[in-house]
Amino acid sequence: MEQIFFFYFAFVIAATSVLVIAMRNPVYSALALLIMFFHVAGLYVTLHAEFLAAVQIIVYAGAILVLYLFVVMLLNLKQDDRYHRQWPMAAGVGMMLFVEAIILTGMKGWTAPLVPTGSETTVEEAGNTEVIGDVLYSTYLFPFEVASLILLVAMIGAIILAKKDLLEVHSNG
Amino acid sequence: MTIPLSYYLVLSGIVFLTGVIGVLLRRNIIIILLSVELMLNATNINFVAFSQYFHDVAGQVFVFFALTVAAAEVAVGLAIIVALYRAKSTINVDEFQLLKW
* Residue A171 pLDDT: 57
The model's pLDDT over A13-37, given as tens digits with 9 standing for 90+, comes to 999 999 998 888 888 899 999 999 9
- B101 found inside a domain: no
**Short-list A79, A134, A85, CA closest to B100:** A85
Domain CATH number, residue B74 = 1.10.287.3510
pTM: 0.80
- B22 found inside a domain: yes
Domain that holds residue B27: 5-94
Asked if the C-beta of B55 comes within 8 angstroms of chain A's C-beta atoms, the answer is yes
ipTM at complex level? 0.90
- B99 found inside a domain: no
Per-window interface: A 42-71 vs B, CB < 8 A: 43-44, 47-49, 51-52, 55-56, 59-60, 63-64, 67-68, 71
pLDDT of residue A1 exceeding 90, the answer is no
Measured CA to CA, the distance from residue A156 to residue A30 in angstroms comes to: 25
Asked if the C-beta of B95 comes within 8 angstroms of chain A's C-beta atoms, the answer is no
Phi then psi for residue A66, to 5 deg, are: -65, -35
Q: How far is CA A127 from the centre of its chain?
A: 24
Integer-rounded Cα radius of gyration of chain B: 17
Measured CA to CA, the distance from residue A116 to residue B84 in angstroms comes to: 49
Å from B9 to nearest chain A CA? 10
CATH 3.30.2350.10 fits A1-78, yes or no: no
pLDDT of residue A165 exceeding 70, the answer is no
* Residue A79 pLDDT: 57
- Cβ-Cβ pairs closer than 8 A, A with B, add up to 231
Report the sign of the C-alpha dihedral through residues A75, A81, A83, A84, in that order: negative
Would the CB atoms of A158 and B37 count as touching at under 8 Å? no
Question: What's the number of domains chain B is made of?
Answer: 1
The answer to whether residues A139 and B75 touch, using CB atoms and an 8 Å cutoff, is no
The answer to whether residues A26 and B30 touch, using CB atoms and an 8 Å cutoff, is yes
